[in-house]
A and B are shown apart, each in its own frame.
Chain A
Amino acid sequence: MVHTFSCLGQNFLLDVESGTLCRIDANMRKFIDSVNSPSGVIGSGEFSRLRKLYPEEADEVSELVNKGLLFTKASDFVPPKPDGTIKSMCLNICHNCNLACAYCFADEGKYSGQKASMTAETACRALDFLAEKSGTRRNLEVDFFGGEPLMNMSAVYAAVEHGRKLEKSHGKNFRFTITTNALGLNDEISDFLDKEMYNVVLSIDGRKNVHNQVRKTQGGKDSFDVVLQNALAFRRKRGDRQYYVRGTFTALNKDFAADALALADYGFDKLSLEPVVLPDSHPLALKDSDLPELFEQYESLAAEYLKRRKTPETWFSFFHFIVDLKHSPCLSKRYSSCGAGTEYVAVTPSGEIYPCHQFVGNAAYKMGNIESGEIDSALYEKFCANNLAYKPVCRDCWAKYHCSGGCAANAVNFNGNISSPYKTACALMQKRLECALAVYCLENEE
Chain B
Amino acid sequence: MKHIKVIAEKTVECGNGTGCGECQASCQSACKTSCTVGNQSCERKIDRIRKEDNK
Q: Does A27 contact B (CB under 8 A)?
A: yes
Q: Which residues of B contact A327 (CB under 8 A)?
A: 41-42, 45-46, 49
Shortest Cβ gap from A340 to chain B (Å):
7
Q: Does A88 contact B (CB under 8 A)?
A: yes
Q: Which residues of B contact A61 (CB under 8 A)?
A: 4
Q: Which residues of A contact B18 (CB under 8 A)?
A: 80, 330-333
Nearest A residue (CB) for B9 = A20
B6 A79 Cβ-Cβ under 8 A:
no
Query: With A19-B12, A21-B7, A77-B14 in contact, is A404–B35 under 8 Å at CB?
Result: yes
Shortest Cβ gap from A195 to chain B (Å):
19
Q: How far is the CA of A24 from the CA of B8 in the complex (A)?
A: 13
Q: Which residues of A contact B19 (CB under 8 A)?
A: 79-80, 330, 332-333
Q: How far is the CA of A76 from the CA of B20 in the complex (A)?
A: 19
Shortest Cβ gap from A133 to chain B (Å):
12
B27 A344 Cβ-Cβ under 8 A:
yes
Q: Does A328 contact B (CB under 8 A)?
A: yes
Shortest Cβ gap from A408 to chain B (Å):
8
B7 A56 Cβ-Cβ under 8 A:
no
Dominant secondary structure of chain B at its interface with chain A: loop
Shortest Cβ gap from A430 to chain B (Å):
11
Shortest Cβ gap from B1 to chain A (Å):
5
Q: Which residues of A contact B5 (CB under 8 A)?
A: 22-24, 445
A357 B30 Cβ-Cβ under 8 A:
no
A344 B34 Cβ-Cβ under 8 A:
no
A330 B42 Cβ-Cβ under 8 A:
yes
5 intermolecular pairs with C-beta atoms under 8 Å apart: A57-B3, A201-B32, A274-B32, A330-B14, A402-B37
Q: Which residues of B contact A199 (CB under 8 A)?
A: 29-30
Shortest Cβ gap from A79 to chain B (Å):
7
Contact of A436 among B35, B37, B39 (CB under 8 A): B39
A445 B31 Cβ-Cβ under 8 A:
no
Nearest A residue (CB) for B17 = A330
Contact of B25 among A179, A325, A338 (CB under 8 A): A338
A407 B35 Cβ-Cβ under 8 A:
yes
A69 B30 Cβ-Cβ under 8 A:
no
Q: How far is the CA of A257 from the CA of B41 in the complex (A)?
A: 26
Which of B2, B7, B10 has the largest count of A CB atoms less than 10 A from its CB?
A: B7
Q: Does A3 contact B (CB under 8 A)?
A: no
Q: Which residues of B contact A410 (CB under 8 A)?
A: 33
Q: Does B28 contact A (CB under 8 A)?
A: yes
Query: With A337-B26, A339-B25 in contact, is A27–B35 under 8 Å at CB?
Result: no
A338 B35 Cβ-Cβ under 8 A:
yes
Contact of A20 among B11, B17, B23, B42 (CB under 8 A): B11
Instruction: Kindly state the interface size class of chain A when it binds its partner.
Output: 35 or more
B36 A429 Cβ-Cβ under 8 A:
yes
Q: How far is the CA of A179 from the CA of B33 in the complex (A)?
A: 13
Shortest Cβ gap from A105 to chain B (Å):
8
Q: How far is the CA of A208 from the CA of B37 in the complex (A)?
A: 31
B25 A18 Cβ-Cβ under 8 A:
no
Q: How far is the CA of A444 from the CA of B14 in the complex (A)?
A: 24
B11 A358 Cβ-Cβ under 8 A:
no
B36 A403 Cβ-Cβ under 8 A:
yes
Query: With A274-B31, A331-B18 in contact, is A88–B25 under 8 Å at CB?
Result: yes
Q: Does A205 contact B (CB under 8 A)?
A: no
Q: Does A97 contact B (CB under 8 A)?
A: no
Query: With A141-B28, A201-B30 in contact, is A401–B38 under 8 Å at CB?
Result: yes
Shortest Cβ gap from A345 to chain B (Å):
10
Q: Which residues of A contact B25 (CB under 8 A)?
A: 87-88, 141, 338-339, 343-344
Nearest B residue (CB) for A145 = B32
Interface residues of A in 100-152 (CB under 8 A from B): 105, 137-139, 141, 143, 145
B26 A13 Cβ-Cβ under 8 A:
no
Q: Which residues of B contact A323 (CB under 8 A)?
A: 38-39
Q: Which residues of B contact A425 (CB under 8 A)?
A: 34
Q: Which residues of B contact A145 (CB under 8 A)?
A: 32
Q: Which residues of B contact A56 (CB under 8 A)?
A: 2-3
